[in-house]
Structure 1
Amino acid sequence: MTDLTRRTLLASAAATGAIAATAAVAQSDKVEAAPPDLSGKAILITGCSSGFGRLMAESFARKGARVFATMRNLPRPEADELRELAKNEKLDLRVIEIDVTDDAMVASGVAEAERINGGALDVLVNNAGISTAGPIEIQDMQATHLLFDTNVYGPHRMARAALPAMRARKSGQIFNVTSQLGRVMVPGFGQYSPTKFALEALSEQMAYELVPHNIEVTIIEPGGYPTEIWANANRMSMKLLDRAEEKHTSGYTAMIAQMRQVGGNGGGTTDPMDVPNAIARIIAMPPGTRPLRKPVHPGPKPQIPINEVCAKVQLEWLGESPYGPMIRAVHKA
């Protein structure tokens, strides 16, 4: 057993153009004629001020779920908008303040959701995430700590807070939103890919370990979508460049010039609702049939062959070991 121990989202104009050019192809992730019924599901989502999180909160509540939409820095207009929407449409949707980088806020926010729900959450969606652009060398410790704290430690904190009640009930689902860039890399994406690679590994390990507790983990791997993460990443990247030292920036003149030219809009003309729709369909699947990974994008999904070979290696390496039942359960083998 000792062996066991063993997007920048501001990509180049060419990369962004390639994403946009594929936006009109196969629509396999679009919503189906009969939307999944999420009635009776208690779902907590992080990062609901905008983007995928905001869309999930609205969509899941309209499908009958009890939704806990979380965001940081309350009070804020986005929270008021969600509360007004819930009131007008009579949705079971509540806003709770959670900053995923704050241990105490994570613990108290999850506890409040469990109190309101009268028990464990059915679904946790770790959606909150951030990005900065640029070569790895210019990523200072301030940027690096913030990205790992948000994109990796944040989902870890949230899972640790929600899992005791889920395990006691012997059921639950956790969705971790990573990226295509958690399996493939493009130069100049800063610490985004490293954090998403780490979240992929954390998620897969949890998926195996939670098999005995009947808790399933699914990794959502979106491609490029036009959400606010692009503009947010641009602002953070410009601040990073402003404080960067010349001894680090001097080796990347062309890449940094491109960073300063690229605007805050990206992701092409794809429909961000693909992600909430994919998650809703997986929530509604029978237990034991849900996938470990779900690539989501109407265009190319370069991570698919990587996912396939990794599953094959895991099964060949550990499928007949004492860990075999966990490995085979996750990979449906």
Structure 2
Amino acid sequence: MPRAVAGAGRGAVVDRSDGAGTVAADLDAHRGALRGAAFRMLGTLADADDAVQEAYLRWVRLDPDQRAGIAAPGAWLMRATGRICLDMLGSARARREQYVGEWLPEPTPLSGLPASVPDDPLERAIVADTVSTALLLVLETLTPAERVVFVLHDVFAVPFAEIAEITGRSPAACRQLASSARRHVGRRPGAEVTRRRHDELVAAFAAATATGEIAALVQVLAPDVTLRSDGGGRVSAARRPVAGADAVARFLLGLARKAPDAAYGQVETGDGLSIVIRQGGAVSAVVTLGTDGDRVTDVWIMRNPEKLGAWR
């Protein structure tokens, strides 16, 4: 993914402030891009908001003369956010070792992605892909430095010279980190599957699930399909991955039988078409899928209420 995302690139965060507005207004002009970058680095909107808030506090703590001497407030804020995220990633990994059950990145509706989403369908798909569950899970396997460098350079087009200031590494070292991260990202399962084909398989999955028949559902699942469910210890969820087409089909149909009043709908997310489940009018789960172009290879179920805030 060597290109920058349209609408979320460097120009979105480095425009020179005209000094006419208040400090708050100047900061708000960059909030979307900062939140988008932090989300891609950290995987949850709550953590992203904490990082952006801390960057804002550091900006506000500068005296007026210092702020006046900064030609590009957005670039300064992006560097500050990157440093904060780099620090947070270390502690986040420690917290996830204590996490109850499976940890999954937070799914977001496309209309609520934490960055501006362009009107052009191709650019819209590129923006969405950078917050897909599949990509965010791959980013989780990178070192904190690789993840920060990849997001800032490949997604937000921040120059390596500026990233070097954030990471404490040389520009050449940052290029190597970006290259390593890019190789991992390019090898992720389903990377070559078109959005259209993905959505066709989601629709087939939904139709098969609606039949209530195990055989019908097994037909759309890859033999080695894996299901992961994130309840965060707050709601019921599978504590360990469920593997194999028959086991996953039985698990899914068992969930459906336990919640006969649930309403199922389809919604566009960073992964493409996904399934949203509502009970009593409130969103109780979001199901996103990974595919190999032929069958469903991964089922990710988000049930943790703390990660469903964007759906309320």
Q: TM-score range by the shorter chain?
A: under 0.3
Higher relative contact order (CA 8 A, sep 6+): 1
TM-score, length of structure 1 as denominator length: 0.25
